[in-house]
């Protein structure tokens, strides 16, 4: 028996949905959904769905979700009127359970089929409003209150000068976690784990690392594109920014994947253009290639994104495994003297605290006054992802990034058997992603830094 529980909640804005009969249904102001697979057999399963209304009373309700896998289907359901269109499932109240008072519950169930994987559904909404994890949120009549999710508060981001700025034109710093390769660790990115990242870790962003080689995108472009879009939706539902990482590493010249990049980014940019939470990272760690080669790649890929999504921030990887060239004997001057010919872009910097110390920090300190930087990946250990935590160097790095308002994502929010992972091996098969018993030494340190208040400036 496999059991999956997803805690989802709450919907912060007011959208209505007309009920089947009687007065119009009110918008949901808060909800919790517990999804449980009670039994599973070859190609089929039985699941229960419990809705708890945490907000104002509802007279009429509709629950919707999206299946992560195209092969998942609802076969027969009870305690609601069920339908499915594509991968979207809709369950509308029956006459006898149409009313959900504050704290009221509705227990639904269904049998289903699947042809591939059978992951838990994502993107639950109640009466058309995304369930994000808590009751209420930012007051829609007062967007400058500074309450709500990171996306609620900051809205569409843009680059202003050398800073990442929010919808008010104020410099901000985002702090969050990077996935490991989604081809290997998909079990780590569920409703439960992302609830924990948003609610317990209080992260601002999720970096979605889609490897291109190494059993990644090139093996199934459509499938990996769909998975990335699914994770974008899951991040959006929790008010997290989604950093889409086109994770190139070997070969190090991004031009090797130029055609793949154009295809991928044309698709995800068109699909996600209306979203405010998406940031595009067009090449992960260029290495063994000149800055001119990286620049050439960027100036061909960025227009593809801009054609569909003219407003989103784009991040360009830098020479020497995104070290601003330091790891290959150069520095930021080659970028300063020959920047990418595009606007609203930032440059990636990566470090591993036990391997990259004072000379790398000096480069970042100097470059930050000339270039908009985003640390899209860093580790607390050596550049191999292993070794022991270097607490002193990690703290020095994070203090510097805080001082300069440089955003960052830690490698990795996974239970990989390596010391850079935030979670202990085996954690992703359970439901706890936050307590001290499941965190590695690195995870405990990073969670303690990320979970401190953001204090995003508004107005």
Joined together, the tokens standing for residue 197 give 């990242």
Whether 297 and 254 have beta carbons less than 8 Å apart is answered as: yes
Which among 98, 130, 162 is the end of a domain?
130
CA distance 3 to 103: 24
State the DSSP H helix or E strand holding residue 397, giving kind and residue range, or none if neither: helix 391-404
CA distance 158 to 47: 42
* Same domain? 25 vs 166: no
Torsion of CA 142, 147, 152, 156, to 10 degrees: 80
Would you state the pLDDT for residue 132? 54
Of 13 and 104, more confident: 104
CATH number at residue 218: 3.20.20.80
* Same domain? 80 vs 162: no
Between the CA of residue 29 and those of 33, 192, 275, 293, 296, what are the distances in Å?
14, 21, 21, 50, 48
Q: For 55-96, write each residue's pLDDT tens digit.
A: 778 889 898 888 888 889 999 999 999 999 888 899 999 988
pLDDT band at 148 (very low <50, low <70, confident <90, very high): confident
CA distance 343 to 360: 26
Would you state the pLDDT for residue 145? 40
Joined together, the tokens standing for residue 222 give 């459509």
The residue ranges of DSSP E strands in 219-343, in sequence order, are 241-247, 278-281, 314-316
pLDDT greater than 50 at residue 354: yes
* Same domain? 249 vs 333: yes
Would you state the pLDDT for residue 106? 87
Least Cα distance to 4 among 191, 226, 278, 248 occurs for: 191
CA distance 242 to 265: 14
pLDDT greater than 70 at residue 126: yes
145 within some domain: no
pLDDT band at 143 (very low <50, low <70, confident <90, very high): very low
Q: For 334-348, write each residue's pLDDT tens digit.
A: 999 999 999 999 999
Would you state the pLDDT for residue 129? 64
Q: Domain count of the chain?
A: 2
Q: For 382-421, write each residue's pLDDT tens digit.
A: 999 889 999 999 999 999 999 999 999 999 999 999 999 9
* Same domain? 216 vs 258: yes
Which among 97, 130, 163 is the end of a domain?
130
If phi over 0 gives left and psi between -120 and 50 gives alpha, with beta otherwise, what is residue 60?
Answer: left
Q: Confirm whether 285 is a catalytic residue.
A: yes
455 within some domain: no
CA distance 296 to 340: 8
Which among 73, 95, 130 is the end of a domain?
130
* Same domain? 317 vs 425: yes
Least Cα distance to 440 among 407, 412, 408 occurs for: 412
* Among 285, 332, 334, 418, the one annotated catalytic: 285
Of 1 and 293, more confident: 293
What domain range is 33 assigned to?
8-130
* Same domain? 322 vs 216: yes
* Same domain? 244 vs 121: no
Tell me the average pLDDT across 41-47.
90
Least Cα distance to 75 among 41, 114, 122 occurs for: 114
281 within some domain: yes
Q: Confirm whether 377 is a catalytic residue.
A: yes
Which residues make beta-bridge pairs with 31? 53
* Same domain? 316 vs 446: yes
* Same domain? 330 vs 401: yes
Whether 415 and 167 have beta carbons less than 8 Å apart is answered as: no
* Same domain? 370 vs 277: yes
Going by C-beta distance under 8 Å and a sequence separation of 6 or more, which residues neighbour residue 283? Answer: 246, 248, 254, 257, 261, 294, 297, 298, 301, 316, 317
CATH number at residue 108: 2.60.40.290
3 within some domain: no
Query: What does pLDDT average to over the chain?
Result: 88
Least Cα distance to 78 among 111, 104, 105, 55 occurs for: 111
Q: For 357-372, write each residue's pLDDT tens digit.
A: 999 999 999 999 999 9
pLDDT band at 4 (very low <50, low <70, confident <90, very high): very low
Joined together, the tokens standing for residue 414 give 């996974």
141 within some domain: no
CA distance 329 to 334: 11
Would you state the pLDDT for residue 130? 63
* Same domain? 105 vs 189: no
* Among 64, 281, 377, 418, the one annotated catalytic: 377
165 within some domain: yes
Which residues make beta-bridge pairs with 47? 37, 110
Joined together, the tokens standing for residue 448 give 């303690």
198 within some domain: yes
* Same domain? 262 vs 119: no
101 within some domain: yes
SS3 state of residue 321: helix
């Amino acid at each position: 028996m496999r059991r999956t529980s997803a805690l989802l909640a709450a919907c912060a804005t007011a959208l209505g949905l007309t009920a089947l009969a009687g007065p119009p249904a009110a918008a949901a102001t808060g909800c919790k959904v517990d999804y449980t697979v009670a039994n599973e057999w070859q190609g089929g399963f039985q699941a229960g769905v419990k809705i708890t209304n945490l907000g104002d009373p509802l007279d009429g309700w509709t629950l919707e979700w999206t299946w992560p896998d195209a092969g998942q289907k609802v076969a027969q359901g009870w305690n609601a009127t069920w339908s499915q269109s594509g991968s979207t499932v809709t369950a509308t109240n029956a006459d006898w359970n149409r009313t959900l008072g504050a704290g009221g519950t509705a227990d639904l169930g269904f049998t289903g089929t699947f042809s591939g994987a059978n992951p838990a559904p994502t993107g639950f909404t109640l009466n058309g409003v995304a369930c994000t994890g808590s009751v209420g949120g930012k007051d829609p009549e007062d967007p400058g209150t500074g309450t709500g999710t990171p996306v609620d508060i900051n809205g569409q981001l843009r680059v202003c000068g050398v800073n990442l700025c929010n919808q008010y034109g104020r410099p901000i710093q985002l702090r969050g976690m990077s996935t490991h390769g989604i081809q290997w660790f998909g079990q780590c990115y569920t409703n439960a784990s992302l609830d924990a990242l948003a609610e317990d870790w209080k992260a601002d962003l999720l970096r979605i690392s889609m490897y291109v080689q190494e059993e990644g995108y090139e093996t199934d472009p459509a499938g990996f594109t769909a998975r990335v879009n699914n994770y974008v939706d899951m991040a959006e539902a929790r008010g997290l920014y989604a950093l889409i990482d086109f994770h190139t590493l070997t070969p190090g010249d991004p031009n090797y994947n130029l055609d793949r990049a154009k295809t991928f980014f044309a698709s995800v940019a068109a699909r996600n253009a209306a979203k405010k939470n998406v940031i595009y990272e067009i090449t992960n760690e260029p290495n063994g290639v000149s800055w001119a080669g990286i620049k050439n790649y960027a100036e061909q890929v960025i227009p593809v994104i801009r054609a569909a999504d003219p407003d989103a921030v784009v991040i360009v990887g830098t020479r020497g495994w995104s070290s601003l060239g330091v790891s290959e004997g150069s520095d930021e001057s080659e970028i300063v003297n020959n920047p990418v010919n595009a606007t609203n872009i930032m440059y990636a910097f990566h470090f591993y605290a036990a391997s990259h110390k004072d000379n790398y920090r000096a480069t970042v300190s100097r470059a930050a006054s000339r270039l908009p930087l985003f640390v899209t990946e860093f580790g607390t250990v050596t550049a191999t992802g292993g070794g022991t935590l270097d607490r002193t160097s990690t703290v020095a790095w994070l203090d510097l990034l805080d001082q300069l308002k440089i955003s960052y994502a830690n490698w990795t929010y996974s239970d990989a058997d390596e010391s850079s992972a935030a979670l202990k091996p085996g954690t992703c098969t359970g439901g706890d992603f936050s307590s001290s018993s499941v965190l590695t030494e690195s995870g405990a340190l990073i969670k303690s830094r990320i979970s401190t208040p953001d204090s995003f400036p508004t107005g």
